[in-house]
Amino acid sequence: MNEGGFFVNIENIEAFVYVVYCGSFNKAAEALYLSQPSVTARIQSLERGLDCKLFDRQAKQVQITEEGKRFLPFAQQLLLTYQKGKYQVNQKKSPPEEFRIGCTVSVSNYIFPELIVRLKSKFPNTNYRIVTGITDEIVSKVLNKEVDIGFVRNVTHPSLQSIKFYEDPISLYVYEGHPFLLNERLTVEEIAKEPLVFFQCGALDWFRIHRLFENLDQPPNIQVQTDNSEMAKKLVIQKVGISFLPSVCVQQEVAEGKLFPIHVPETDGITMQTNIVIGHGEHSQYLNTIIETGKELIINRLAPASK
């Protein structure tokens, strides 16, 4: 685009949006797989074209200027329009023979076995390849087109559409015969004294669980810490301790009477959110099916635990 002699370079627009999103030139360079000087050059080129400063650079900190704030929504819209147009030009009319899905381990274990059945019934001629990893890895794979869609923690990225898929309540679970099953007025102090198996996946709401114990005189009695929900719930069943766990991962054990949810008022509203991340405008036929069938599936699975 050329207006009054100013050529709009979409790469410069992209660099600007990424610096705002990432908070620094270095982090934007990492996200774009560029050198820091390259990002700086693109920003400087954009500033010359706009005849204004977009950032105030003070030591290691970068602050967006008032001019930059006014330009940002237009830059975002330009980048989004370009990405959508690029996809429309390159998209295939028929669904791909292989649909590649990236997801966290918990989604892979507890959601996809049933979701894939729904997808196969809707797209019988499509094969599916599932890869697992942590959120940052899956986001990177979606950006690099190594997978078509990702299921991750609650994240945002300027080059991706991020859609809330489901929120999974985090509750305290105990084993059969535990004294808490007879206690109707449980306190945080009592929970802290019990042996705890602490499952933590790095999501923000897990820090809210930690904060339950911040004001106590004694730290909680954490016996085991793990990032594996399967290990955590097995240790609870074996009476090593009790644990705060996402409801979706204990559906079977609750139904079989091996684990029991305990209501702790202080944890009301604490959930683990999973989002879908996907390129803007991409794979709409799969995305619509996943949203429609996936949310219904999750609601049906979580309903028994919320009663």
Q: Are residues 222 and 284 in the same domain?
A: no
223, two tokens: 């016996």
Q: Are residues 207 and 297 in the same domain?
A: no
Give the per-residue pLDDT at 304: 45
Q: Are residues 191 and 46 in the same domain?
A: no
- Which residues, other chains included, contact 134 with Cβ-Cβ below 8 Å and sequence gap of 6+? 104, 202
Number of structural domains the chain divides into: 3
CATH of the domain at 228: 3.40.190.10
Return the bridge partners of 262, or none: 172
CATH of the domain at 54: 1.10.10.10
Q: Are residues 150 and 295 in the same domain?
A: yes
Q: Are residues 247 and 184 in the same domain?
A: yes
- Which residues, other chains included, contact 102 with Cβ-Cβ below 8 Å and sequence gap of 6+? 130, 131, 132, 133, 137, 138, 141, 142, 146, 147, 149, 150, 151, 152
The Cα 160–Cα 278 span in angstroms is 5
Q: Are residues 250 and 263 in the same domain?
A: yes
Q: Are residues 294 and 155 in the same domain?
A: yes
Q: Are residues 157 and 281 in the same domain?
A: yes
pLDDT in tens for each of the 307 residues of the chain? 444 445 678 889 888 988 888 888 888 888 777 888 889 999 999 999 999 999 988 766 788 999 999 999 888 888 877 776 765 665 555 455 889 999 988 888 888 887 888 888 888 889 999 999 988 899 989 988 899 999 998 888 888 889 888 888 889 999 999 999 998 889 999 999 999 998 876 555 567 788 888 888 888 999 999 888 899 999 999 999 999 998 888 989 999 999 999 999 988 888 888 899 998 888 888 888 888 776 666 556 545 444 4
Q: Specify the DSSP class assigned to residue 216.
A: S
State which amino acid sits at residue 136: D
Instruction: Tell me if residue 82 falls in helix, strand or coil.
Output: helix
Give the per-residue pLDDT at 1: 46
Alpha helices in 8-111 (DSSP H): 10-22, 25-32, 36-50, 66-90, 105-110
Q: Are residues 8 and 134 in the same domain?
A: no
Give the per-residue pLDDT at 154: 83
The pTM assigned to this predicted structure is 0.66
Q: Are residues 259 and 240 in the same domain?
A: yes
The Cα 141–Cα 100 span in angstroms is 10
Angle formed by the axes of helices 284-306 and 112-122, nearest 10°: 140
Name the residue range of residue 157's domain: 98-162+275-306
Q: Are residues 266 and 282 in the same domain?
A: no
Give the per-residue pLDDT at 307: 40
pLDDT digits (tens, 9 = 90+) for 73-90: 888 888 877 776 765 665
Q: Are residues 15 and 137 in the same domain?
A: no
Q: Report how far apart, in Å, the C-alpha atoms of 65 and of each of 36, 79, 131 are.
A: 20, 20, 41
Give the per-residue pLDDT at 306: 42
